[in-house]
Chain A
Amino acid sequence: MKQTVSAWSLSSWLVATALAMPVVALAWFAWVPESHSWLHLKETVLADYISHSLWLSVGVALGTFLIGVSTAWLTTMYRFPFSRFFQWALLLPMAMPAYIIAFTYTGMLDPAGPLQFHLRELMGWEYGSYWFPSVTHVGGAITMLSLVLYPYVYLLSRASFLEQSLCVLDVGRTLGLGPFQRFFRIALPLARPGIVAGVSIAVMETLADYGTVKYFGISTFTTGIFRTWFGLDDPAGAARLSGLLLGFVFIALTIERYSRSRQRFHHTSQRHQALTAKPLRGLPATLAAIACALPLLLGFIIPISQLGLWAAESWHSIDAHFLTLSWNSLWVAATAAVVATALAAILVYGLRLHPQWPQRLAVRSAGLGYAIPGTVIAVGVMIPAGQFDHWLNQHWPTAIGAAPGLVLSGTFIALIFAYCLRFMAVSLQALESGMGRIKPNIDEAANSLGARRWRILQALHLPMLRGSLLTALLLVFVDVLKELPATLVMRPFDFNTLAVRAFELASDERLAEAALPSVAIVLTGLLPVLLLSRSIARSRHGADGKPLHTTQNATPIPTELDRL
């Protein structure tokens, strides 16, 4: 038994060290030389970077909270026209990369876009004589990001609402609380950990966003990092900005941690009575349907229709090459998802075996990459990878044969590793919360029945974590599919993906041609999202009128899915 334990902790340490290496490399690379423009940054744009990032974060936090929580509450508690449909459809915008929705809306609403063009023709107006919405400002960026990020909040808060026992809400009723008060004073506080977890994911995605803010010309930490590094030629200054950004992230993570540790307290083994949704009629039903339809319409249906229209123009460009692109995107995303999930499983299991601070620190730091822009991650991975290759070739014994050249740099190993680093937080969170719900006495029970570590892992933990593992796989898959900057820089020769193609065309301002790969990304990303929502629909026992036995421990498996 001792041996297996040390093997586990060794491997979890290896993973953690490998994941920490790029961050260390970045820190060393950038902190050692003096930043020559730090004073300049402080005097001029730093305040802008901070305030814009802050505004964006606050705005997206608020936006995703409002959209995510309200739709989750409505679809969980009430029945209204299309409510079953909304239950899963509300997740769809998740498949839409932020930069794609940004350029789609910009293209649509642009004063020179077809919409305004035809409006002017039709009405005989002049530009400036009428008001028209625009998105290319901080508020627009908040809207764009909120529209594609709210599904995280929806997913997690809905899971929390579903977990809440009807009894608790009934208590509220007996105490004379109306439906709104029950929501604000009972359901909302109870679901807080799930909501905070969702919002912090959205905020981290926002902080790491580059495409949208760059396109809208908003100076944030991410654009600032690039500008400082490459424009001001000051990597040290860029690293300090990254450090500040990580500070933000760390705060977000700490809040998230804190609320999750309280979560254990919330869901002790109480008798559970599933919620039954209440049918709405008349005006309330219509309002509820509209409230759910709006985010779906704005976050998915309108942009995908516009993209479809554009794509129809460039339909002819589908060829074998395009299929290669799709295949590349698919397999690289699938591989990264599996590897990231496996690594996360090693880390999380190591933490379960040894819940001490070094393990905890390892897991925490491994999750930081989520908020680091892809290019920064890429550079962070390239430095140690290059060092390793250099070392390997230097010390290659001539007896074996010619030196192997680049083993890591510019290969799929480094690329997949960069993806893992970037999205480790997602798989970690999914697995950690899943693992957290397997009580330690399950291990002890198995232990007392003669089972050892390996058997406990494969006979109990893995099957009980099946839902969480699937969630982790799907989420990382969708994220990698959308990933751009790291792919651009680290990919091997002649390796293109849909995202690369979409970006190259879009950044060349060829929106119509960019639409085709964009639609392909969205459609490919749709599949896992649908899988995810299907499993959520299944987890909703009470809703189907099936009686749910009151149980005292062990939630049935499917609910594992709806948790990140």
Chain B
Amino acid sequence: MNVKNTSSQLQVRSLSVQLGGQAILKGIDFSLEAGEIGCLLGPSGCGKTTLLRTIAGFEAPSAGNIQLGDHNVSDKQRQVPVEKRKVGMVFQDFALFPHLSVAQNIRFGLKGWPRQQAQQRVDELLSLIGLASHAEHRPHELSGGQQQRVAVARALAPKPDILLLDEPFSSMDKTLREQLTDSVRQIIKGEGVTALMVTHDQHEAFAMADRVGVMKAGELHQWDTPYRLYHQPDSRFVAHFVGRGTFIHGELNASGQLDTAIGELPVASLPSTHNGVFDVLIRPDDIIHDDQSPWCAKVRSRHFQGAHFLYTLELDSDESVLCFAPSHHNHMIGECIGIRHDAKHVVVFSR
């Protein structure tokens, strides 16, 4: 057992996992501070669930180590079995024990606790999840959202070192999902537990997480705050996967700015090696619809989204950009509308 060398609650170092001879995870590195909620985001098949299951101890890594609180739970020498890791896990389909009542489900992990303390803990969690009146119900008598909260409470009951959630909202409809992300976040924060969640939905990730990791094909592309993921993506993939946006052509000019089809743009930082030609990431919020602007772009398609329209605009250069416009700005496809950019500093990738 190694002595704790950072303040991190979860530390994953150079973690690789192979399943059936196939490399599922390649050299994953990240850490999560105590009390933080982390989120692994990525398209299906990117390995995010495997990463979660490896941290839980259901899969054994082929290389690297995992540190949970003070303990090294997985390295070359030893694998702490799941039941000794002190991880709480919430499954995609909740995996509630159908033959046990809500209270019994929550109590399941409290074996060895003194009776009274266990009861107190169960009551505490029941009221935390707002199901005190349903203590004796069986899982199948609950709604999906209620089952979800029971699953969270059950995982939290033994005060785990970390709470792991595997796509916990994937089976809900959108409104329920939004409500639940909120209430689950509150429950987690209320318990002050460190949590790591897996999802393929960035809204969920942004709503829940303090830190988000974007994964693709077994690699962790970026581990950062939601803000930085959006505004300063490290890779084209992250830029593309997180938030909306398009790439346009840009060339570095003498004044250190970028010449593009929508004018001269300030650039935050440049890659260390480059040839002066770049792909420039333009977010929809970088473009402002302005009838007065001399820059004009043709409407190629439009999505009415209630409060605003999302327009896809075609530039003279045949490139396209996205633009939000208030919903009373109702333009037809093919119409030319005025735009200007509002980019403080754009993100670029070498060509």
A and B touch in the complex (CB under 8 A): yes
Interface residues of A (CB under 8 A from B): 1, 269, 439, 441-442, 444-452, 455, 459-460, 463-464, 466, 549, 551-557
A-B contact list, 11 entries, CB within 8 Å:
A1-B81, A444-B82, A448-B82, A449-B108, A449-B109, A449-B158, A450-B83, A450-B158, A451-B109, A552-B93, A556-B140
Q: Which residues of B contact A446 (CB under 8 A)?
A: 97, 108
Closest B residue to A450 by CB, please name it: B83
Given A451-B111, A464-B99, A555-B140, 12 other A-B residues pairs in contact with their CB atoms under 8 A: A1-B81, A439-B95, A444-B58, A446-B108, A447-B58, A449-B83, A449-B88, A449-B155, A449-B158, A552-B171, A553-B95, A554-B97
- Contact check, B84 vs A450: say whether CB atoms are below 8 A apart: yes
Q: Which residues of B contact A552 (CB under 8 A)?
A: 93-94, 144, 147, 171
Q: Which residues of A contact B157 (CB under 8 A)?
A: 449
A444-B82, A451-B111 known; A554 vs B96 contact (CB < 8 Å):
yes
Most chain A CB inside 10 Å of its own CB: which residue of B84, B99, B154, B164: B99
Q: Which residues of B contact A555 (CB under 8 A)?
A: 98, 140
- Contact check, B88 vs A554: say whether CB atoms are below 8 A apart: no
Closest A residue to B58 by CB, please name it: A444
Closest A residue to B87 by CB, please name it: A448
- Contact check, B97 vs A442: say whether CB atoms are below 8 A apart: yes
A463 to B101, CA, bound (A): 13
Q: Is B51 an interface residue (CB 8 A)?
A: no
Other-chain residue from B84, B91, B99 in contact with A445 (beta carbon distance below 8 A): B91
- Contact check, A549 vs B140: say whether CB atoms are below 8 A apart: yes
Min CB distance A274 to B, Å, is 12
A255 to B28, CA, bound (A): 45
Q: Which residues of B contact A451 (CB under 8 A)?
A: 83, 108-109, 111
Min CB distance B25 to A, Å, is 18
Closest B residue to A1 by CB, please name it: B81
A463-B99, A554-B140 known; A441 vs B154 contact (CB < 8 Å):
no
- Contact check, A439 vs B82: say whether CB atoms are below 8 A apart: no
Q: Is B281 an interface residue (CB 8 A)?
A: no
Q: Is B139 an interface residue (CB 8 A)?
A: yes
- Contact check, A553 vs B88: say whether CB atoms are below 8 A apart: no
A455-B111, A553-B93 known; A447 vs B98 contact (CB < 8 Å):
no
- Contact check, B111 vs A554: say whether CB atoms are below 8 A apart: no
| Nearest 7 A/B pairs, CB to CB | A449-B109, A554-B98, A448-B89, A445-B95, A441-B95, A551-B140, A447-B82
- Contact check, B91 vs A441: say whether CB atoms are below 8 A apart: yes
Min CB distance B272 to A, Å, is 44
Closest A residue to B160 by CB, please name it: A448
- Contact check, B95 vs A450: say whether CB atoms are below 8 A apart: no
Other-chain residue from B56, B139, B144 in contact with A448 (beta carbon distance below 8 A): B56
Q: Which residues of A contact B142 (CB under 8 A)?
A: 549
A452 to B81, CA, bound (A): 10
What sequence of 0s and 1s flags, for each residue 48-76 of chain B, a beta carbon within 8 Å of any chain A beta carbon?
00000000111000000000000000000
Other-chain residue from A444, A455, A556 in contact with B98 (beta carbon distance below 8 A): A556
Q: Is B216 an interface residue (CB 8 A)?
A: no
A449-B154, A552-B147 known; A441 vs B93 contact (CB < 8 Å):
yes
Q: How many B residues touch the partner, as a band?
A: 35 or more
Q: Which residues of A contact B147 (CB under 8 A)?
A: 552-553
A463 to B158, CA, bound (A): 23
- Contact check, A448 vs B138: say whether CB atoms are below 8 A apart: no
A441 to B95, CA, bound (A): 6
Min CB distance B113 to A, Å, is 11
A459 to B107, CA, bound (A): 12
- Contact check, A553 vs B94: say whether CB atoms are below 8 A apart: yes
Min CB distance B21 to A, Å, is 16
- Contact check, B108 vs A444: say whether CB atoms are below 8 A apart: no
Within 285-338 of B, Cβ neighbours of A (below 8 Å) are at none
Most chain B CB inside 10 Å of its own CB: which residue of A269, A439, A549, A552: A552
Min CB distance B165 to A, Å, is 12
Closest A residue to B157 by CB, please name it: A449
Q: Is B141 an interface residue (CB 8 A)?
A: yes
A249 to B85, CA, bound (A): 47
Closest A residue to B154 by CB, please name it: A449
Q: Which residues of A contact B81 (CB under 8 A)?
A: 1
Q: Which residues of A contact B138 (CB under 8 A)?
A: 556
Closest B residue to A437 by CB, please name it: B98
Other-chain residue from A450, A455, A549 in contact with B141 (beta carbon distance below 8 A): A549
A460 to B93, CA, bound (A): 17
What sequence of 0s and 1s flags, for each residue 28-47 of chain B, a beta carbon within 8 Å of any chain A beta carbon?
00000000000000000000
- Contact check, A452 vs B83: say whether CB atoms are below 8 A apart: yes
A548 to B56, CA, bound (A): 35
Q: Which residues of B contact A549 (CB under 8 A)?
A: 140-143
Closest B residue to A551 by CB, please name it: B140
Closest A residue to B172 by CB, please name it: A552
Most chain A CB inside 10 Å of its own CB: which residue of B95, B164, B171: B95
Min CB distance B54 to A, Å, is 13
Closest B residue to A453 by CB, please name it: B83
A466 to B99, CA, bound (A): 10
Closest B residue to A553 by CB, please name it: B93
Within 122-141 of B, Cβ neighbours of A (below 8 Å) are at 138-141
Q: Which residues of B contact A448 (CB under 8 A)?
A: 56-57, 82-83, 85, 87-89, 155, 160, 164
Min CB distance B105 to A, Å, is 9
- Contact check, A269 vs B93: say whether CB atoms are below 8 A apart: yes
- Contact check, A444 vs B154: say whether CB atoms are below 8 A apart: no
A1-B83, A552-B144, A554-B140 known; A450 vs B111 contact (CB < 8 Å):
yes
Min CB distance A318 to B, Å, is 44
A452 to B86, CA, bound (A): 13
- Contact check, A445 vs B89: say whether CB atoms are below 8 A apart: yes
Closest A residue to B53 by CB, please name it: A444
Closest A residue to B90 by CB, please name it: A445
A552 to B172, CA, bound (A): 10
Q: Which residues of A contact B57 (CB under 8 A)?
A: 447-448
Closest A residue to B142 by CB, please name it: A549
A441-B91, A452-B83 known; A464 vs B97 contact (CB < 8 Å):
yes
Q: Which residues of A contact B86 (CB under 8 A)?
A: 450
- Contact check, B82 vs A557: say whether CB atoms are below 8 A apart: no
A549 to B98, CA, bound (A): 14
Q: Which residues of B contact A455 (CB under 8 A)?
A: 111
A554 to B91, CA, bound (A): 13
Q: Which residues of A contact B111 (CB under 8 A)?
A: 450-451, 455
Q: Which residues of B contact A441 (CB under 8 A)?
A: 91-93, 95
Q: Which residues of B contact A444 (CB under 8 A)?
A: 56, 58, 82, 89, 91, 95
Closest B residue to A541 by CB, please name it: B140
Most chain B CB inside 10 Å of its own CB: which residue of A446, A449, A455, A556: A449
Q: Which residues of B contact A556 (CB under 8 A)?
A: 98, 138, 140
A40 to B339, CA, bound (A): 96
Closest B residue to A557 by CB, please name it: B99
A452-B83, A552-B144, A554-B139 known; A460 vs B158 contact (CB < 8 Å):
no
A359 to B144, CA, bound (A): 37
Q: Which residues of A contact B141 (CB under 8 A)?
A: 549
Closest B residue to A462 by CB, please name it: B99
Within 142-189 of B, Cβ neighbours of A (below 8 Å) are at 142-144, 147, 154-155, 157-158, 160, 164, 171
Q: Which residues of B contact A464 (CB under 8 A)?
A: 97-99
Min CB distance B117 to A, Å, is 16
A531 to B315, CA, bound (A): 76
A554 to B99, CA, bound (A): 9
Min CB distance A58 to B, Å, is 40
